Structure 1
Amino acid sequence: MVVRVSLSITLGGDLSAALRDDLLAIVQSEGLALDYDAEPFTADDFPADGPLLIYAHEVAWGRVDRLEGFCVAHDLPFARWSGGSAAQFGPERAVFTGTGEASLYAADEDDDVVITMDRVERLGSYEAIMAYFAAANFRVPPLRFVA
């Protein structure tokens, strides 16, 4: 049986206007909307001047791999929160800054990043701990469709 949890994802950055319909199709195929249990996402729902924040309940494993893969392929930063499932996996935040690979962070059910004593010891300093939290709380830029 597939474990299903809630998630939210914020994405932004510059995307070719020619790929707008591709992004729309992926968002719709993932069952995402402007709020939990809201009407299905439409082209009119793209933000005019900010990042795109979308939600869904009952997402298999709390993952939207197709959308995240599209974002990585087109250098679109994102931050995703996924809820946890008892005895399966905990809540997490995934952050992609537009380059490299997505980083995963342990979180709670309110999308607050949490840190273990083991992680504190591995980071080793207050400055490193604060840098860890800053990276986890990456601010996604506005989504813009460019010519």
Structure 2
Amino acid sequence: MSSVKILKQLQADSIVLFMKVHNFHWNVKGSDFYNTHKATEGIYENFADMFDDLAERIVQLGDKPVVTLSEALKLTKVKEETRSDFRSSDVFKGILQDYEYLEKEFRQLSDTAEKENDKVTVAYADEQTAKLQKALWMLKAELA
């Protein structure tokens, strides 16, 4: 798989995750509502930045980014969340699984871009991997 194909996959994933985390943000309940509500706001803002950065990199490489929700839904490997009632632990467990998936995909992107001698994409993928590894550590600590 080419790095552009992986970039498109990740862009689609981040679009779906943007909506999935909004669902968590709007529908979390319980005594820790406020903290989870605030945390998910930061997370979905990061996904907005991510899908924009991925789209721009795709364009820089001479291809077309994902521009419709139907295309994003066809390409994504992320499972949509259809429930609408969550406790904080549900939210963080769901995000943990998605971050584990993304971290693996960004490592694959780095490896593929390295083979293509695309240093800019390697740097971006490695930066995202580092951010995700830190977020995974924090989520695991929250759930311990």
Normalising by structure 2, we get a TM-score of: 0.28
> Whose helix fraction is larger, Structure 1's or Structure 2's?
2
> Whose strand fraction is larger, Structure 1's or Structure 2's?
1
